[in-house]
Amino acid sequence: MNHPIIVRPAAIEDAAGIARVHVESWQTTYKGIIADDYLASLSIAQRTHDRELRLQLPPPGVVTYVAEANGEVVGFATGGRERSNHPEYTGEIYALYLLAAHQKRGTGRKLVQVVARDLAVQGHTSLLILVLEANPARRFYERLGGRVVLETTFMIGEQVLAELGYGWPDIHTLL
């Protein structure tokens, strides 16, 4: 049954729902990419605690939105100032996750748009999103007009993974 999706600013009461989406989406999206033992070790309880802290005292300029269906959080996005001091990109989407059953329905696009809108209001003129190179959903960012502007690696557990940075030199193209 399809329920209308509501995209709204996250509240502290959404912490557990955000944590569940985060863990479940990692476990489905990154299966075969990130080590099984690492994925199995992800804790909804720990992520709930972490998310409660972030929602209570967000760093200046950081925004979080949730996508809700039938009263349940099914996705979320968080963004703020670009974290690596990239010379061209000033805003960044730090996280964008949706439960598998809610992907490919326009919800991810709505989440990107509301975060980009808030960042543009804050004065950010460009946007960057880092994505695992092996993530099959990374084509989503290409469909939104992002282009690969950097390649890097990072550690998750004992693994070194390749990551791509998709950039939008003009944040307004996402609005």
Q: Please indicate, yes or no, whether the overall pTM of this predicted structure exceeds 0.85.
A: yes
Measured distance CA(77)–CA(37) in Å, rounded: 26
Measured distance CA(28)–CA(13) in Å, rounded: 24
pLDDT at residue 2, rounded to an integer? 64
pLDDT < 70 regions, the chain = 1-3
Q: Pairing relation of β-strands 159-168 and 127-132?
A: antiparallel
Q: Where are the domains of the chain?
A: 5-126
Q: Which residues, other chains included, contact 118 with Cβ-Cβ below 8 Å and sequence gap of 6+?
A: 63, 79
Which CATH code is given to the segment(s) 5-126?
3.40.630.30
Measured distance CA(54)–CA(175) in Å, rounded: 26
pLDDT digits (tens, 9 = 90+) for 16-27: 999 999 999 999
Q: Which residues, other chains included, contact 100 with Cβ-Cβ below 8 Å and sequence gap of 6+?
A: 24, 25, 28, 29
